[in-house]
Amino acid sequence: MITVRRATPLDAPPMAELLNEIVGEGGTTARTQPITSREMAQMMAGALDRSAWHVALNDDGALRGFQYIRPIDELPPEACDIATFVQVGRTGLGIGSALFAATAKAAKAMGYVWINANIRADNEGGLIYYQSRGFRDYARREDVMLASGQRVDKILKRYEI
């Protein structure tokens, strides 16, 4: 069974560890460099009144995934950006669905009208996940350079709250 709750600063170390495992696998996130626990905590602390962070834990309290929404400069104030990370080898088990239920509720409570998902075009699992939540394509960015120098296309999807 998965439990979802708001993330706290104490969650930053296991969140960084989970994200670093995903980065190490490659191919599903635009992030190409590892993140430290401190950097994760700093990300969580930014724009607290306009962001929401949730973690998914299994029965023994182990972190299995996390999701956040936050405002970004490229979006209008009525929209927020979303990011979802599920432990390697644990996708397709309902973790992302449980996280999104909490995130969508938080986005609505904060007054957002829509949620933006910015997904690598080669991230088939991510594209399927967001499509299955009700996100719809609205734009494509071609030849986006990642921090590693790799170039990828990005699909932008939109969820109306």
Q: What pLDDT digit, counting tens, does each position of 30-54 carry?
A: 677 899 999 999 999 876 779 999 9
What's this model's pTM, rounded to 2 decimal places? 0.92
Average pLDDT over residues 141-157: 89
Cβ burial of 77 (10 Å; 0-12, 13-18, 19+) is: exposed
According to the model, what pLDDT value does residue 47 have? 64
According to the model, what pLDDT value does residue 4 have? 98
Say if residue 28's pLDDT is above 80.
no
Q: Which domains does the chain have, with CATH numbers?
A: 3-160 (3.40.630.30)
Cα–Cα distance for residue pair 13/15, rounded to 1 Å: 5
